[in-house]
Structure 1
Amino acid sequence: MARLILGVLLVAALVSCDRKTEAGQALRVVRMFGEPGRQPGQFMYPRAIDSDGHSLWVVDKGARIQQIDPYSGQALRGFQTPAWEQGKPTGLTIGPMPGDDPRPALYVADTHYHRVLVYDLESGSDEPALTFGAYGTGPGQFIYPTDVAVLTDSAGRVERIYVSEYGGNDRISVFTPDLEFVSCFGDYGVAEEADAAPIVFDRPQSIAIDPSSRELIVADACNHRLGRFSLDGALLGWIGGNDRFRYPYGLSMLDDGTVLVAEFGGNRVAHVDLRTGQDLGVLGRAGRGPGELASPWGVTT
């Protein structure tokens, strides 16, 4: 397996493992960085992590977004979201800017401000270039958005933008590259009560697009499962439940069509084959020592 970058409660670690890592075994840590604090390279409870292929981007509970060199752990850049008194973001995603020029962008689920912030990373500005969403339950509105997934076409341009949310609006909304609302699917529900309405969520915390199958993968955190959906929102199948995952909070797709799942309640990262639903390995164990995980929110590669 390729090296993994794991976002955990108080630190971040660059780790190496193979597909046969057993449950309860500590990860082999190649590099660890971060510590509690508000200085560059420190974190106040990191909540989401993604990679642009060169750097890591981390948002923490101080509403601070940092660009991190994964080799040195040095903070290359840092800024706060425009407001944070009501609460802090819980999701961020690297993708292209909407439009004909697919330059790199950072999408931030500004959870407690009921909106999505889009930063143009090439501009060097610490202010969002675009913002969409507002409080509400209507089309294009959000209660508590949790994550963003960006579908791209063969030229790398934005084709669709997906936003997950919870707080009564437990659903996935779909937007055009012009940030116009297209549709939404899902409703709040507990999995055991879902027979009459198969597409229900209880805090869809993380979403990701599987480029190999062009499916949308949803971490339905409080129902302890993963959902596979067509890009139009049709349910293709569920993986997991109470006996499989414990609060899956973070997703990272691998090139082979498998997914890494950060389990907030399980203190581990599961490696799952989405086609078969098979477990391919469980990485990490509970703790705060090297190679151990404490309530991980996110994972990236």
Structure 2
Amino acid sequence: MDETSDRRDTLMPLDRRNAIRRMLLGASGTLAMSPLSGCVASAMGGTPDLVWGRRGLSDGRFLKPRAMAIDPEDQLYIVDTTGRIQVFDADGQHLRTWKTPETANGRPTGMIFDGQRKRLLVADTHYYRMLAFTAEGEIVPEEQIGGTSGDGPGEFAFVTDIAFDASGCRFIGEYGASDRIQRFDPDGQFMTQWGGTGREIQRFVRPQSLMVDGDTLWIADACNHRVQRYDISQTEPKWIGSWGHEGKQLGEFYYPYGIDIDEDGTVLVCEYGNQRVQRLTPDGDPIASWGAPGHGPGQLYQPWGLVIDSKRRVHVLDSNNHRVQRFYLPG
């Protein structure tokens, strides 16, 4: 299974009439952003202070970037559908490039940087495994988890994303034959699993993005159009709650593909389907939203993810526009 065969990749073709309709329905936002010199933001949308990247195969260009991670120095790690991992500073200046070892079956769709171990952890989706790289791009084979297709402990369907807690445990999501989360200890040994395919709470349909904040694991349950969270302070997780459902209004979602937590505890969710970013309280009450379908600054075309840097700037992976947009959070 390759990204080109995934129906969700062509779920929302750009349509100018639909874009205007979405903006009138409130799909774009209210955040006040720093202006981008020489550019005008979309009506009702947030204004990015920086937009960078373009379609291409050379360094600094992208072909449908699919995942982004950030390290403690605010360096951005971005993988696209060529299997290249490119590293940039927070202003979009290219630093280095390497490739994942295999790409014939498909490319990664999730990444996170483990600052404690100084490892980039990559969801090598179509090879049923988590890869580990040094910050300079050297693969670390002994830290790989998985590699076998299956539904047993330590086996995977299509790996979506990775998160880790303060003790170094890894949480790995997957979709396909088994929509679940598996937990591994710091040495990569299986600990427990939960979930399964379904629409009811505590089950998932493509848990696309994972994020740990303290003792809480946040999960963007993409094809159920909701967010779920778990207390992970003990080996066996405890379900805390779920919020969101399919829709276009604030507090509703349409394929939430990315999630991150701000230092003030608010939750940022990037929606592939609604082509916007929402900011919500930990209980799911909407605070603000920005973005609208399109190609201009402040507009998005099937975004896949976001990260927040040390200056509380939000970097949005604007996938089908082959670029990154940076926004300031107010407050």
Q: Shared fold by TM > 0.5?
A: yes
8 Å Cα contact 1:89/1:108 also seen in 2? yes
Task: Pick one of 142, 158, 165 that aligns with 2:174.
Answer: 165
Following superposition, the deviation at residue 228 of structure 1 comes to 1.0
Q: Aligned-pair RMSD on alpha carbons? A: 1.9
Alpha-carbon displacement from aligned partner over 1:150-191 (angstroms, at most 9, x marks no partner): 1014xxxx2x110000002100000000100000000001x2
Where does residue 281 of structure 1 map in the other structure? Answer: 288
Whether 1:238 and 2:232 are equivalent positions in the alignment is no
Where does residue 141 of structure 1 map in the other structure? Answer: 155
8 Å Cα contact 2:131/2:139 also seen in 1? no
Helix, strand or coil at the partner of 2:126: helix
What percentage of residue pairs aligned between the two structures are identical?
A: 37
Q: How many angstroms apart in 2 are the aligned matches of 1:128 and 1:287?
A: 40
8 Å Cα contact 2:31/2:289 also seen in 1? no
Question: Amino acid of the residue matched to residue 66 of structure 2?
Answer: R
Question: Amino acid of the residue matched to residue 135 of structure 1?
Answer: S
Where does residue 24 of structure 2 map in the other structure? Answer: none
Where does residue 259 of structure 2 map in the other structure? Answer: 251
Q: How many angstroms apart in 1 are the aligned matches of 2:132 and 2:32?
A: 35
8 Å Cα contact 2:291/2:298 also seen in 1? yes
- Give TM-score scaled by structure 1 length: 0.83
Where does residue 49 of structure 1 map in the other structure? Answer: 68
Whether 1:33 and 2:65 are equivalent positions in the alignment is no
Alpha-carbon displacement from aligned partner over 1:231-274 (angstroms, at most 9, x marks no partner): 13221111101131000000111111111100000000011111
Structure 2 residues without counterparts, runs of 5 or longer: 1-11, 13-29, 34-41, 309-331
Question: Amino acid of the residue matched to residue 234 of structure 1?
Answer: K
Q: How many angstroms apart in 2 are the aligned matches of 1:177 and 1:201?
A: 25
Where does residue 12 of structure 1 map in the other structure? Answer: none
8 Å Cα contact 2:163/2:171 also seen in 1? yes
Following superposition, the deviation at residue 125 of structure 1 comes to 4.3
Task: Pick one of 257, 273, 295 that aligns with 1:265.
Answer: 273
Corresponding pairs, count: 262
Question: Amino acid of the residue matched to residue 153 of structure 2?
Answer: P
- Structure 1: 4+ residue segments shifted above 4 A: 16-19
Helix, strand or coil at the partner of 2:66: strand
- Which stretch shifts more, 176-185 or 284-293? 284-293
Where does residue 228 of structure 1 map in the other structure? Answer: 229
Aligned 1:147-158 pairs, distance under 5 A: 147-153=161-167, 158=168
Task: Pick one of 114, 118, 131 that aligns with 2:128.
Answer: 114
Q: How many angstroms apart in 1 are the aligned matches of 2:139 and 2:83?
A: 13
- Which stretch shifts more, 235-244 or 162-171? 235-244
Where does residue 84 of structure 2 map in the other structure? Answer: 64
Helix, strand or coil at the partner of 1:152: coil
Q: How many angstroms apart in 1 are the aligned matches of 2:209 and 2:99?
A: 22
Q: How many angstroms apart in 1 are the aligned matches of 2:204 and 2:125?
A: 17
Whether 1:200 and 2:234 are equivalent positions in the alignment is no
Q: How many angstroms apart in 2 are the aligned matches of 1:94 and 1:116?
A: 12
Where does residue 4 of structure 1 map in the other structure? Answer: none
Change (3 A) 1:271 1:24: farther
Helix, strand or coil at the partner of 2:49: strand
Higher relative contact order (CA 8 A, sep 6+): 2
Following superposition, the deviation at residue 30 of structure 1 comes to 1.0
Where does residue 139 of structure 2 map in the other structure? Answer: 127
Whether 1:184 and 2:193 are equivalent positions in the alignment is yes
- Give TM-score scaled by structure 2 length: 0.76
Following superposition, the deviation at residue 17 of structure 1 comes to 4.4
Question: Amino acid of the residue matched to residue 240 of structure 1?
Answer: G
Q: How many angstroms apart in 2 are the aligned matches of 1:132 and 1:83?
A: 16
Relative to its length, the structure with more strand (as a share) is 1
Change (3 A) 1:24 1:242: farther
Where does residue 299 of structure 2 map in the other structure? Answer: 292
Following superposition, the deviation at residue 204 of structure 1 comes to 0.5
Change (3 A) 1:26 1:225: same
Alpha-carbon displacement from aligned partner over 1:202-252 (angstroms, at most 9, x marks no partner): 1000010122xx110000000000001111322111110113100000011
Q: How many angstroms apart in 2 are the aligned matches of 1:260 and 1:42?
A: 26
